[in-house]
Amino acid sequence: MKRVLLTLSYDGTDYHGWQIQPNGVTVQQVLSNSLEKLLGVKTAVTGCSRTDAGVHAKEFCCHADCGDNIPPSAFLKGLNALLPQDIAVTGYKEVPPDFHARYDAKGKTYVYRILTGGRKDPFLSRYVWQIERELDVGKMNEFCKKIVGTHDFSAFSSSKRSVTDTVRTVSECHVEKKGDMISLYITANGFLYNMVRIIVGTAVWVSDGSIAPESTGEIFESKNRDKAGITAPAKGLVLEKVFY
């Protein structure tokens, strides 16, 4: 047996997130079923994180233990042939037997995209939050600068979170605008449940003047979810990169 690190890309629109659950189809379940067909045995798959329902991934990493009787190129070709069109395995790497896709990850980068200006684009509707009004990128970046650093992100997380340690370190957070498309990039050593989507929703409220950028410190100190902005829709969020 050997442990392999698999890199996936997927459109999360039709899935109830990554993790297997009883009430909906998930990426983990589909991948596990496909691996079982390929290898002939039930194979457990452990992901680098839990993406929410409707969230996408350009680079999602997971590990699995399997026999070494299939060459990597044949493994990738065979597995991709079994997977649906909205999930692709893009990388295969043998790793040490004690490697863990989640606990060995040093950080992740997410990108959230917003289409502004009232332009309706059916080809982007599954992948962006469409907002008719223009947004103030300057104000949003002023807010993003205050997100960078080590903070208790309780106020920027859903109460449904399953962890007690709510301190995270954000090394990058900024907004870019190209035409009508606004992209918020954020890199951290870890993320809480709905953390990125709440940060995005708060950035939009800051743009609208509902929250002042200088109030960010008070929001952190409050540890109160009600002090932050709305939770942005899942469809605009993409897991861009995982660092090991």
Q: If you count them, how many residues does the chain have?
A: 244
Task: Tell me the three state secondary structure of residue 45.
Answer: strand
Question: Which of these is catalytic: 11, 14, 52, 226?
Answer: 52
Task: Establish whether 52 is a catalytic residue.
Answer: yes
User: Tokens for 116?
Assistant: 């502004």
DSSP state letters, 90-112: EEEEEE-TT--TTTT--EEEEEE
Q: How far is the CA of 155 from the CAs of 25, 67, 189, 229, in angstroms?
A: 30, 45, 18, 10
Scored b (16 or more CB within 10 A) or e, 138-165 reads ebbbbbbebbbeebbbbbbbeeeeeeee
Q: Give the residue carrying structure tokens 């743009």.
A: 207
Give dist(CA 161, CA 119) in Å, integer. 35
- Annotated catalytic residues are 52
